[in-house]
């Protein structure tokens, strides 16, 4: 649980973050979105005190973040930035071992943890452990960056535009991996992004910022159905908000009892993709199946469309 | 059809007919020197002008022919053989042959037991050595050896030269005669030379690195500090020695302890201080430039993961700036090895002592006894540090 209380940052006469308060639940993913210059990065960086707040405070699990020196606080919080920031003179394994080494873990424990993370991120240890960052592809570098941030099993992971530099296909995979890893380790993730698609895909809660102020902090569906003001509705995509609503629900969640002889869709895909499939096939209903092929129910075009209304 | 035949024949023809331009210049220069300049010079004592002797007048026919054959092969290689390995090998063989011939000429011309006559290598010898050296260097460059191999090559060359000298092959040549007279002092002056060059480098590192970091962290200080160091750099060495004499002399007069430590207006102290001041600019400027090129994302990530400021500086920033800082150290070291020579003028010692003593006595052999080791030291330092920078940069070239 992270609680941000009335947090402000003022540089000279410019107020970059203006009295923001929000409570972030444990084991959730929160996205902070906004246009550039909205203060979203500064807000994130005040959580691990890379930027010291001008006023207000941040509590993590009830403890004020100012209770210990900033560098000790940061060792308990994972941090991922755009362009990964890997150390070019250190191998992949050494990069991942950075925080465990700072925490003076025993060598065997570090080696085991590095190995585990390499496997979790599908980086074969024999091939990647001793490679230098420049020998990796962009997607691999990004995965090492996330693995490095998670090395010391932090309860909180802060990410600043983590996937901004990746091409669409690799970004898609990186987002999928992040969701899987968040479920596996139960980390509380706060991610800054300007990509609404990404925010809706990843986040349980979205915080919309503009000119240093927090405009709305809610579940994605609420943001779409009841935007706090015109700016939020414009940012979240006024024109295709119905379609975006569909992308928040999976076929499995929306499946109705019964079955049909229409096309088959996986339970894990969103209603948006299911609808697209139905349009493509010219069918009125589809069968929803599990990963193991068992039929979970059916979906009709009407039932899908009903989910896209306010 | 005929075009194809022509194209197929081309490598053979091209190899023989196309003359290597650098090779042509070197062969022309070497041949002219061999024809017009003396190979060795015979002097009745170390100061009088000598008279020239050709190789054929001095050595048995088979030795002269051997040396000529080696030179001829090197000339053929220089003109027509494009294979770098062969060029290098033949150039080195010729270097050896010319050196041995000069050594043998010294032995042949020196009457047994005589310590007064001087046999000096003549103009032809030096020009040939330079031409063959350039041929070997060019061939080495074409081979593009890695940094490790280059250092190995340097060590092998120095070892071969050292071995030939300690075996006594050149004992009757004039420079070695001067060495024989000054052996004990030579060792002392070499030590003093290195002490002055490395000592001032060490002091410049101790002061310059923190100063560079400070300039990087506080940009407002940068123009002032770098500007001051730039001005110091423009003061001529002799003038700087003169400027330092007064304050250091006053210090010695006021503090007996300083005097006892050797801090005086003349001697090693002003030399070290002047070299230290000259060394600061390359160290500080390169530290600033090196830190500037460090990836900002890496520094941000380092802070974000909980490194202390000191850890970020020592284990990320300085490490990544190291190749640029080493380039600065290379500049300073080569510069210092050369400039320590001038320190002999104010009683600082070092190999420059031989140079200036030799000039005073018009004994050119004594000048060479100082100059050859200075050039060798500077060249070795430059090559070694270049190799070090390159090997570090190879790892990081794409890592920024």
Q: Which residues of A touch B293 (CB under 8 A)?
A: none
- The residue among B305, B313, B394, B395 with the most chain A CBs within 10 A of its CB, best to mutate, is B305
pLDDT of B2: 46
Which two structure tokens, joined as six digits, stand for A46? 């005040």
As a whole number of angstroms, the longest Cα–Cα distance in chain A is 67
Average pLDDT, whole number, for chain A? 90
- Contact in structure between B87 and B139 (CB atoms under 8 Å): yes
Which two structure tokens, joined as six digits, stand for A259? 């079955």
- The residue among A89, A132, A141, A145 with the most chain B CBs within 10 A of its CB, best to mutate, is A89
Between residues 20 and 49 of chain A, which touch chain B (CB distance below 8 Å)? 48
Residue A80's nearest CA partner among A143, A31, A170, A132 is A143
- Above 70 in pLDDT, residue A268? yes
pLDDT of A69: 93
- Contact in structure between A278 and A263 (CB atoms under 8 Å): yes
- The residue among A84, A86, A87, A152 with the most chain B CBs within 10 A of its CB, best to mutate, is A87
pLDDT of B16: 55
Sign of CA dihedral A165, A167, A168, A169: negative
> Given CB atoms, is A71 within the 8 Å cutoff of chain B?
yes
Tell me the whole-structure pTM to 2 decimals: 0.79
Angle between helices B318-343 and B268-292 (to 10 degrees): 160
Which pLDDT band holds residue A5 (cuts at 50, 70, 90)? very high
Secondary structure percentages of chain A, helix, strand, coil, to 5: 40, 25, 35
Q: Which residues of A touch B302 (CB under 8 A)?
A: 85, 87
Between residues 100 and 129 of chain A, which touch chain B (CB distance below 8 Å)? 102
Q: Do B297 and A48 touch (CB under 8 A)?
A: no
Angle at B269 between CA B264 and CA B275, to 5 degrees: 145
As a whole number of angstroms, the longest Cα–Cα distance in chain B is 94
Among the listed ranges A45-54, A223-232, B328-337, which one has the minimum average pLDDT value? Answer: A223-232
Instruction: State how far the alpha carbon of B359 is from the alpha carbons of B114, B228, B338, in Å.
Output: 25, 35, 17
Q: Do A81 and B300 touch (CB under 8 A)?
A: yes
How many whole angstroms separate alpha carbon B331 and alpha carbon B381? Answer: 10
How many whole angstroms separate alpha carbon B85 and alpha carbon A112? Answer: 49
- Contact in structure between A24 and A205 (CB atoms under 8 Å): yes
Q: Name, in order, each residue with C-beta under 8 angstroms of B301's C-beta and a sequence gap of 6 or more.
A: A79, A81, A84, A85, A86, A87, A145
- Residues of chain B where predicted confidence (pLDDT) is lower than 70: 1-17, 261-262, 264-265, 394-400
pLDDT of A79: 94
How many residue pairs from chains A and B have C-beta atoms closer than 8 A? 71
Residue A129's nearest CA partner among A139, A138, A116, A142 is A116
In chain B, whose CA is at the least distance from the CA of A154? B305
pLDDT of A100: 95
Residues A56-115 have pLDDT tens digits of 999 999 899 999 999 999 999 999 988 888 998 899 999 999 999 999 999 999 999 999
How many whole angstroms separate alpha carbon A188 and alpha carbon A185? Answer: 9
- Contact in structure between A71 and B307 (CB atoms under 8 Å): yes
How many whole angstroms separate alpha carbon B391 and alpha carbon B53? Answer: 47
What are the strands, taking DSSP E only, across chain B? 40-43, 51-53, 118-121
pLDDT of B395: 62
Q: Do B300 and A132 touch (CB under 8 A)?
A: no
Average pLDDT, whole number, for chain B? 84
The length of chain A is: 310
- Eight-state DSSP code of residue A131: -
Q: Which residues of B touch A136 (CB under 8 A)?
A: none
């Amino acid at each position: 649980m992270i609680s941000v209380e009335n947090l402000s940052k003022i540089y000279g006469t410019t107020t970059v973050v203006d009295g923001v308060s929000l409570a972030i639940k444990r084991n959730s993913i929160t996205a902070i979105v906004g246009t550039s210059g909205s203060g979203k990065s500064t807000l994130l960086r005040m959580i691990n005190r890379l930027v010291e707040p001008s006023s207000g405070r941040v509590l993590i699990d009830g403890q004020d973040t100012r209770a210990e020196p900033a560098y000790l606080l940061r060792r308990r919080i994972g941090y991922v930035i755009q362009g990964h920031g890997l150390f070019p003179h250190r191998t992949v394994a050494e990069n991942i071992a950075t925080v465990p080494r700072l925490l003076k873990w025993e060598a065997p424990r570090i080696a085991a943890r590095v190995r585990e993370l390499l496997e979790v991120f599908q980086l074969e240890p024999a091939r990647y452990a001793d490679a230098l960052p420049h020998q990796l592809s962009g997607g691999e570098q990004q995965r090492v960056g996330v693995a490095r941030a998670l090395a010391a099993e932090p309860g909180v992971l802060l990410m600043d535009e983590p996937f901004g530099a990746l091409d669409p296909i690799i970004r898609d995979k990186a987002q999928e991996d992040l969701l899987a890893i968040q479920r596996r380790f139960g980390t509380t993730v706060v991610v800054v992004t300007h990509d609404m698609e990404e925010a809706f895909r990843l986040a349980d809660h979205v915080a919309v910022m503009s000119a240093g102020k927090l405009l709305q902090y809610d579940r994605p569906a609420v943001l779409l159905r009841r935007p706090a003001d015109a700016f939020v509705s414009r940012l979240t995509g006024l024109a295709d908000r119905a379609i975006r609503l569909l992308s928040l629900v999976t076929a499995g969640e929306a499946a109705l009892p019964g079955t049909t002889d229409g096309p088959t869709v996986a339970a894990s895909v969103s209603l948006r993709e299911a609808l697209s499939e139905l349009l493509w096939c010219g069918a009125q209903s589809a069968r929803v199946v599990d990963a193991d092929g068992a039929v979970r129910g059916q979906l009709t075009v009407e039932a899908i469309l009903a989910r896209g209304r306010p | 059809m005929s075009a194809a035949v022509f194209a197929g024949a081309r490598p053979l023809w091209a190899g023989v007919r196309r003359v290597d331009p650098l090779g042509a210049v070197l062969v022309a220069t070497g041949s002219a020197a061999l024809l017009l300049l003396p190979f060795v010079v015979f002097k009745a004592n170390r100061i009088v002008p000598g008279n020239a002797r050709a190789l054929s007048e001095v050595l048995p026919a088979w030795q002269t022919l051997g040396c000529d054959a080696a030179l001829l092969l090197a000339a053929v290689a220089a003109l027509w053989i494009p294979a770098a390995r062969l060029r290098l090998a033949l150039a080195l063989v010729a270097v050896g042959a010319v050196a041995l011939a000069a050594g043998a000429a010294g032995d042949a011309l020196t009457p047994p037991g005589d310590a007064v006559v001087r046999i000096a290598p003549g103009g032809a010898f030096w020009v040939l050595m330079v031409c063959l050296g350039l041929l070997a260097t060019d061939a080495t460059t074409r081979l593009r050896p890695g940094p490790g191999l280059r250092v190995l090559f340097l060590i092998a060359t120095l070892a071969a030269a050292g071995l030939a000298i300690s075996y006594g092959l050149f004992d009757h040549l004039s420079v070695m005669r001067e060495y024989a007279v000054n052996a004990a002092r030579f060792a002392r002056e070499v030590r003093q030379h290195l002490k002055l060059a490395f000592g001032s480098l060490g002091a410049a590192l101790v002061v310059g690195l923190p100063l560079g970091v400070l300039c990087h962290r506080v940009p407002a200080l940068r123009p002032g500090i770098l500007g001051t160091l730039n001005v110091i750099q423009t003061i001529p060495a002799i003038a700087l020695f003169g400027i330092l004499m007064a304050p250091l002399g006053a210090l010695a007069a006021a503090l007996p302890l300083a005097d006892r430590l050797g801090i005086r207006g003349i001697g090693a102290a002003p030399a070290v201080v002047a070299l230290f001041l000259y060394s600061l600019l390359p160290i500080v400027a390169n530290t600033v430039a090196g830190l500037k090129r460090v990836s900002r994302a890496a520094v941000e990530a380092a802070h974000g993961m909980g490194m202390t400021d000191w850890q970020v500086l020592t284990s990320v920033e300085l490490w990544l700036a190291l190749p640029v800082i080493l380039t600065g150290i290379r500049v300073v070291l080569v510069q210092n090895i050369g400039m320590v020579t001038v320190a002999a003028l104010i009683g600082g010692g070092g190999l420059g002592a031989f140079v200036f003593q030799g000039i005073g006595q018009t004994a050119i052999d004594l000048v060479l006894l100082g100059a050859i080791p200075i050039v060798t030291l500077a060249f070795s330092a430059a090559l070694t540090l270049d190799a070090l920078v390159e090997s570090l940069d190879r790892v990081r070239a794409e890592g920024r």
